[in-house]
Structure 1
């Protein structure tokens, strides 16, 4: 253990012996956490952070400040075996635990973890490409940008999420959409083998020979902590990428989404689109505007076949640029320096729904509600409404029955992102109502009885069928595996199965 943690452990041990009543040290003693004992079980590079320290603040700060976990201590594993030691210690003391990497999991169910141990995975960050160049071993706490940049420098790439500051395995355990999914499938489709710590603190390599293999590809948050994994990597096929962007006023809703359905609904593997509603008073002080992107691989300018229909709609602003794959997060506002990657003390909650195509009338109705609600309640006027249209060929090439990810037949990922500064339960309720009302409008527009929600964007009030699929066999299979590998429900804080 580093010196500062060792000194803190000594101080805590001394305080426990003296039982300092109402102090925070006393409360740690009350919960049975003896950091001198815990530190003796960990590697020399592991760290323990106590409340009040900078390390504790850095390790426990999350992207969204609604229903956050209650963390008594944060423990930073220095090597993979440390994760197992921490889980075993927590089990001995009957303490809950929760692993965190990028801290962007905003689902409210994580708030059920109280008076527990956070396992901050940030030191387990590494990317090692195999000698044959077909796979790489990635540390369990590695963030997406590290994976992308390391592979790119070696002439390789793989599927990661579109946001640079999230981990690769946080999204991956829930399936994981990404810019390259049309070529190669979801993040989880890249898994070759996962080294995992299970609920009892034992370790297991989960691969195609394991009965957990199916479950970890879509519902993996419920079964263990990934300490490292072997994933597929690919030679860079196209270094060039380009985008074209269009800014539209709200009167263009019908034309925009009709054209997306018509011209991009079955888009080529090299094309994706992305749009969002947001308030931009400098352009329109009364109504939200819509930013729309077309991104294309292997070109220095987006093909006019794709851009022409949207140019004809009369955007109030356009832009275009050329670059490489590594530019995509910054282009779409998801780079490390972009607002979505900042932990600014805000509440950020999403209400996802997967669709087959846009119902244009529902888009209008949702836009009008988003406009009126964010204008009337100014606390919510920094919110966004996201519409993601990835290419799909690689996702749909994988048999739907072969993994726990349930909704491979859907084509679009939509999610209101309601953002606001914390101001009490009344605003929390208003924000949640707006998000759910917007999602309800879109769901009614599908004429489906099923509500499909992407687990990595989930708010937390959804049902397990919404996250993991309506088929009875899916629910039964997940529950049977959960009862086998986690009967005491140690992993019950991120979109729990039951």
Structure 2
């Protein structure tokens, strides 16, 4: 019989239960509505601690959640009455090898640490666009960022992982290559990644980037610019287009522009966009390490969130036009919620040039749309309204299975003891049978089931 006292005696890190003074704090998450009352929070110090926590959960018949950065809107880093394996307290360091252009990143680190450590050596890696996102969850789900146009996805820049699934394994192209293949896009289905080794690339110290705000009547002109720019986008470019209401409740189009070069080069690349006439232009040269905090205001820690993801259309003007904007604003009218539709224009030529079978991740997407709903002071009514808004917005957007890291809880998690396999199959498509084989080998008991859960073959 599993004993918490026995676990504590062997454990190097910290075991927190409801009787401890720091228990409530240990449950805090980026999305306040994803907070769950765990039975045990295990702040692991190393891979051996992870293996001990997994064994305890298995013997006690408890569910497992893995917490890296705690940035899941779906609640996948929390579990009610289960065991949370939390890497954030002790396994959060990064180490750069500038000669080999590699960075060793522990599973509980945030992307901010990666950005700041690497740029000190004139280097950078592909990272998320919100710098307090955890490295682990984003990395195993795919990983888009401003540098994806030049260097692909995070999973395309992952060289080695160390996982714990009860045993401790190093996985790369030569050691446990099946596990290495599965974890690069297959999410948290196979174990807990305690360390990543990522490739780094030479990076200039400053880039041209920032928010540029337009009034809604400019939608057709912005769409025309995008229709011309997007098919011939360069690797060093990228944009986010956000349709939302401003603090005064009025509709606006918020564009985040990026050019991996000087302000002069950036303004030349986006001249036709700037010529449309923004109401505010905050784009300028900024230190590279500030790039990934530009969108942080849309992702404030401690608010409540609901996400939905869907793919971009083939042509930007299908997603951004006068009628679409009007429909979005009509739905996004709740005074208690901030609702935004984000169109992600990260160049995909490099991403989609990777061989189809190099990882269990789609290589035919044009880009992604994120529907984000944020609210404060959660109630059941507000949460229900947020889901209603998100689904209504998604209904008027392109159909299809979106980016896995944008999925909501109701679409992917096990419910009433059953797993929503259809969503998982739709995400992984032709890769699903191979993932089932790997799941059977490394997690036949389905202990890791908090994301798009793969059912063993």
TM-score, with length taken from structure 1:
0.82
Cα shift at 1:312: 3.2
Q: Name the residue aligned to 2:391.
A: 436
Q: Name the residue aligned to 2:171.
A: 206
Q: Name the residue aligned to 1:385.
A: 341
Could you say if the C-alpha distance between residues 471 and 230 of structure 1 is closer, same or farther in structure 2, counting changes exceeding 3 Å? closer
The 2-side partners of 1:249 and 1:312 are apart by 14
Q: Name the residue aligned to 2:408.
A: 459
Tell whether the 8 Å contact from 1:245 to 1:291 is kept in structure 2 after alignment.
yes
1:258 paired to 2:224: yes
Q: Name the residue aligned to 2:415.
A: none
Rg larger for = 1
Cα shift at 1:329: 2.2
Tell whether the 8 Å contact from 2:2 to 2:59 is kept in structure 1 after alignment.
no
Provide the secondary structure at the position in 2 that maps to 1:349: strand
Match of 2:245 among 275, 279, 301: 279
The 2-side partners of 1:423 and 1:165 are apart by 22
- For this pair of structures, how many residues does the alignment match? 443
Could you say if the C-alpha distance between residues 308 and 135 of structure 1 is closer, same or farther in structure 2, counting changes exceeding 3 Å? closer
Tell whether the 8 Å contact from 1:244 to 1:302 is kept in structure 2 after alignment.
no
The 2-side partners of 1:339 and 1:371 are apart by 17
Tell whether the 8 Å contact from 2:96 to 2:117 is kept in structure 1 after alignment.
no
1:371 paired to 2:320: no
The 2-side partners of 1:102 and 1:56 are apart by 17
Name whichever of 93-102 and 351-360 sits farther off.
Answer: 351-360
The 2-side partners of 1:302 and 1:311 are apart by 13
Can you give the 5+ residue segments of structure 1 that lack an aligned partner in the other structure?
1-31, 445-450
1:323 paired to 2:323: no
Provide the secondary structure at the position in 2 that maps to 1:386: strand
Tell whether the 8 Å contact from 2:73 to 2:305 is kept in structure 1 after alignment.
yes
Could you say if the C-alpha distance between residues 121 and 259 of structure 1 is closer, same or farther in structure 2, counting changes exceeding 3 Å? same
Q: Name the residue aligned to 2:446.
A: 489
Provide the secondary structure at the position in 2 that maps to 1:414: strand
1:35 paired to 2:4: yes
The 1-side partners of 2:35 and 2:285 are apart by 40
The 1-side partners of 2:258 and 2:136 are apart by 25
Match of 2:299 among 337, 340, 345: 340
Q: Name the residue aligned to 2:277.
A: 314
Provide the secondary structure at the position in 1 that maps to 2:156: helix
Encode CA deviations 1:148-188: one digit per residue, 9 max, x unaligned. 11111133221111111112121010011011112221111
The 2-side partners of 1:104 and 1:429 are apart by 21
CA RMSD of aligned residues (A): 2.4
The 2-side partners of 1:80 and 1:99 are apart by 13
Could you say if the C-alpha distance between residues 469 and 135 of structure 1 is closer, same or farther in structure 2, counting changes exceeding 3 Å? farther
1:46-445 aligned within 5 A: 46-51=13-18, 53=20, 55-66=22-33, 68-107=35-74, 113-122=79-88, 123-130=90-97, 132-198=99-165, 201-209=166-174, 210-236=177-203, 238-243=204-209, 245-282=211-248, 285=249, 287-330=250-293, 332-334=294-296, 338=297, 340-343=299-302, 346-358=303-315, 360-364=317-321, 365-375=323-333, 377-380=334-337, 382-406=338-362, 408-443=363-398
Could you say if the C-alpha distance between residues 361 and 428 of structure 1 is closer, same or farther in structure 2, counting changes exceeding 3 Å? same
Could you say if the C-alpha distance between residues 303 and 403 of structure 1 is closer, same or farther in structure 2, counting changes exceeding 3 Å? same
Tell whether the 8 Å contact from 2:44 to 2:86 is kept in structure 1 after alignment.
yes
Cα shift at 1:108: 5.1
The 1-side partners of 2:452 and 2:76 are apart by 6
Cα shift at 1:271: 0.7
TM-score, with length taken from structure 2:
0.89
Moved over 4 A (4+): 108-111, 463-472
Tell whether the 8 Å contact from 2:209 to 2:284 is kept in structure 1 after alignment.
yes
Provide the secondary structure at the position in 1 that maps to 2:282: strand
